[in-house]
Structure 1
């Protein structure tokens, strides 16, 4: 057995990994996964950089940011989803315009999904000085901060969006409606680690693809929802609705076959160019991903 250290955010898309572990998929491929959960993208990047984990999950924007800012050799080797994100706000905020003067919670003020939020708010007449960014770290922590009144709005994904909505919080905008092609989350590693662990990484991808196919098969809806309910201590109805959103690959859910979308990654890059964070013309999307492990896993 080969042990892999994997760091994740606490989000619903983890069900592919957690259900795969519970069902023995990874073990059948000769892998044991030691899972850890990050409090935010900075923590995950540092853990990956220092060898504390072999594989992590980041927003594509985080990868672009770290590669360009520090010259890190991070690369996306599998896609996860196209942006299962909603802009959630406190119950008293009924429109995006009412976010003027409010606190917007983000993972990192310079990367991640902050540019998505800024673009959506800009399209609704709010400049960067019209609201305050608050560093509230990872998805689950942002959801808690929103619920406790520490922030007024945040971009969140299911199950947090669904649970908050059922408690009266507002779903003001869905990212997929604004950006139907978007590379949101992806599995990431360093190119150096990947070169020396080619077989193990390809095997991980192969096992993940098997678990992904099981997850996307709606015949397994009830079983997958049970794993979600157990992981997040969810009401069964919210777990089922979370599954339905994850399984809607055409609506921003899990990418079929863990695809990496170059056009979606180009959207990420173009946002950074418009924000003055990348030169024009920018590097091509291929600078930030490597499909060789995914391609090899699909062939075997």
Structure 2
């Protein structure tokens, strides 16, 4: 059995679960909602989790903390994160000297936010709060002024009257979605099991390709997701699980601009294993 942590279940996993693909393949995966990227790393390091769905950027930081990890699949085409603020904030410049909640300051999607703010010469007070649920709760409670949120928490924020200022994709085009990562020793010792898992996710990607948008959104909404969240996740679902190297280059560029790219991180190929995911099938 594989153990996986994630902020929100990726669309291929939802589809594979709802349509019985896992059961038919005899693949068993237990999933846990994470408290944040630090918790994901600690669980991977301690052997409490085998896999994590997380921001690609996290590998830059995690691989310098004592264990080696690699991405084996990309579970989002891009990230549907958006910048949410208190209602009185209508421009990026209005965030000057306000509090901005992040998961971890020096890795993950927080770096995308830092790059966007730096481009606009906006200085904020960053506060590490935790995972997306905790950040949403802090924003709703008025404890912070801004944060990044994705489905379904963005819908909840809007229901509470909070302001959607802009999306990461609008402000930083090409920034990649989350990836599936595991430790290098698990890659060696459980490769066949991991390959079976990725193969089922690819079957879910292919099944999604044959669904209409209405059918796909209805499938996701049937799991309890709000319609707006189901729509956003469906739109950003992966068309292939292959690693988007161009997106990884953008991530490295963000780190370089923030002077956070390790000097010895010239070879990005060490951050992923391309042997798991297949080439995408052509649309018929």
Please indicate, yes or no, whether the TM-score normalized by the shorter chain is above 0.5: yes
Which residue among 50, 59, 70 is the counterpart of 2:65?
A: 70
1:103 deviates by: 0.8
Q: How does 1:207-286 map to 2 (within 5 A)?
A: 207-215=200-208, 217=211, 218=213, 219-227=215-223, 229=224, 234=225, 239-248=226-235, 253-279=236-262, 282-286=265-269
Runs of at least 5 residues in structure 2 that lack an aligned partner in the other structure: none
Displacement, 1:297? Answer: 11
What secondary structure is seen at the aligned counterpart in 1 of 2:108? coil
Matched, 1:190 2:190: no
User: Structure 1, residues 180-230: CA drift from partner, whole Å, max 9, x if none?
Assistant: 212231000011101111111010001112223334532332122111x2x
Structure 2: how far apart are the matches of 1:108 and 1:202?
31
The root-mean-square deviation of aligned C-alpha atoms, in Å, is 2.0
Pair 1:58 & 2:45 matched: no
Aligned residue runs from structure 1 range 21-32, under 5 A:
21-32=17-28
SS state of the match for residue 269, structure 2? helix
- Contact residue 174 and residue 247 of structure 2 kept, 8 A: yes
- The residue that corresponds to 2:4 in the other structure is 6
Q: Is the 8 A contact 1:143 1:160 kept in 2?
A: yes
Report the Cα distance in structure 2 between the residues aligned to 1:22 and 1:255, rounded to whole angstroms: 17
Contact 1:75 1:188 in 2 (8 A): yes
Q: 8 Å contact 2:115–2:257 — kept in the other structure?
A: no
CA distance in 1, matches of 2:279, 2:23: 20
Is there any run of 5+ residues in structure 1 with no aligned partner, and where? none
State the distance in 1 between where 2:146 and 2:181 align: 28
Per the TM alignment, residue 96 of structure 1 is displaced from its structure 2 partner at its CA by: 1.1
Residues 278 and 71 from structure 1, CA distance in 2 versus in 1: closer, same or farther, beyond 3 angstroms? farther
2:14–2:220: 8 Å Cα contact kept in structure 1? no
Matched, 1:93 2:89: yes
Q: How many residues align?
A: 277
- How far, CA to CA, are the matches of 1:40 and 1:135 in structure 2? 10
1:145 aligns with 2:143: no
- The answer as to whether partners of 1:206 and 1:297 remain within 8 angstroms in 2 is no
Which runs of structure 1 show a deviation greater than 6 angstroms over 4 or more consecutive aligned residues? Answer: none
Whole-Å Cα distance in 1 between the matches of residues 266 and 204 of structure 2? 33
Separation (CA, whole Å) in 2 of partners of 1:176 and 1:197: 35
Q: Which residue of 1 aligns with 2:32?
A: 36
Contact map agreement 1:56 1:188 (CA 8 A) in 2: yes
1:162-201 superposed matches below 5 A: 162-201=155-194
